[in-house]
Amino acid sequence: MDEITKQITEQIIAYLTDPSLIPSPYYQIIIGIKILFIGISIFFIVLSIYILINSQWLKFRYTQDISEFSKFKSYEFEKFAKDWKKIMKRLETGLESEYKLAIIEADVMLEQVLERMGHIEPTIEEKINKVTPSDIPSVNELKVTREIRNDVIHDPDYDLSQEKSKEVLSVYEKAFKELNILS
């Protein structure tokens, strides 16, 4: 028994050191398996490159840093500025429903900004309560405007004039400027 295992291990070592000793049909199977695995590897490498090129990950990962560095502004600054312009255009319509919608959208924008600041509380009230005047000097004014926003949301008959909605949005705008979200 000892002699047989010794011969088998010697054959295995010989096959590993010199693959030409492997009998022909097995050698062809091994070469076929090698070719198959090389093909699969090439497929996955090409697939990975294709996904990286066509996904937004590379763009987000590198262009965000370059953009922030070159403009000295947050990458999302332009997005928030564009959203704010849309909110302010709602005031030009002369419709009370648009005024209400503008206030709601400004509040949603504030919640997004607070989340990006690291406030992960479940409600915006809790997020605003965690904000200190050193973060946003006009935080107390924001709390007052939140009451108006809550009236707009919970009372469908709440009367909102254009002047009042401009006052409310000016508080949001002041907060966004303090956070360097708007210029």
Same domain? For 154 and 84 the reply is: yes
Same domain? For 163 and 105 the reply is: yes
Per the domain annotation, does 183 fall within a domain?
no
Same domain? For 8 and 87 the reply is: no
Same domain? For 111 and 168 the reply is: yes
Answer for the pair 88, 106: CB distance below 8 angstroms, yes or no: no
Same domain? For 156 and 97 the reply is: yes
Same domain? For 105 and 167 the reply is: yes
Given this model, what pLDDT does residue 135 score? 79
Same domain? For 146 and 92 the reply is: yes
Answer for the pair 180, 144: CB distance below 8 angstroms, yes or no: no
Answer for the pair 92, 106: CB distance below 8 angstroms, yes or no: no
Same domain? For 41 and 89 the reply is: no
Identify the domain containing residue 17 by its residue range: 2-55
Residues 6 or more apart in contact with residue 74 via CB below 8 angstroms: 68, 180, 181
Question: How large is the C-alpha radius of gyration of the chain?
Answer: 32
Same domain? For 47 and 111 the reply is: no
State how far the Cα of 154 lies from the Cα of 107, in Å rounded to an integer.
14
Same domain? For 96 and 165 the reply is: yes
Given this model, what pLDDT does residue 38 score? 94
E strand intervals along 12-157: none
Same domain? For 90 and 50 the reply is: no
Percent of the chain at pLDDT above 70? 85
Per the domain annotation, does 96 fall within a domain?
yes
Confidence of residue 43 (pLDDT cuts 50, 70, 90): very high
Per the domain annotation, does 67 fall within a domain?
no
- Give residue-wise pLDDT tens across range 103-133: 889 888 888 888 887 878 888 888 888 888 8
Domains contained in the chain, number: 2
Percent of the chain at pLDDT above 90? 8
7-43 in b/e form (b: 16+ CB < 10 A) is eeeeeeeebeeeeeebeeeeeeeeeeeeeeeeeeeee
Tokens encoding 65 = 């840093």
Residue 158, helix vs strand vs coil: coil
- Give residue-wise pLDDT tens across range 2-34: 888 888 888 778 777 776 666 677 777 878 888
Given this model, what pLDDT does residue 41 score? 96
Same domain? For 133 and 171 the reply is: yes
Asked if the model's pLDDT at residue 68 lies above 70, the reply is no
- Quote the mean pLDDT of the chain: 82
Per the domain annotation, does 69 fall within a domain?
no
Given this model, what pLDDT does residue 37 score? 93
Asked if the model's pLDDT at residue 144 lies above 70, the reply is yes
Per the domain annotation, does 60 fall within a domain?
no
Per the domain annotation, does 66 fall within a domain?
no
Considering only CA atoms, which of 117, 134, 90, 113 is closest in space to residue 182?
113
19 versus 166: the higher-pLDDT residue is: 166
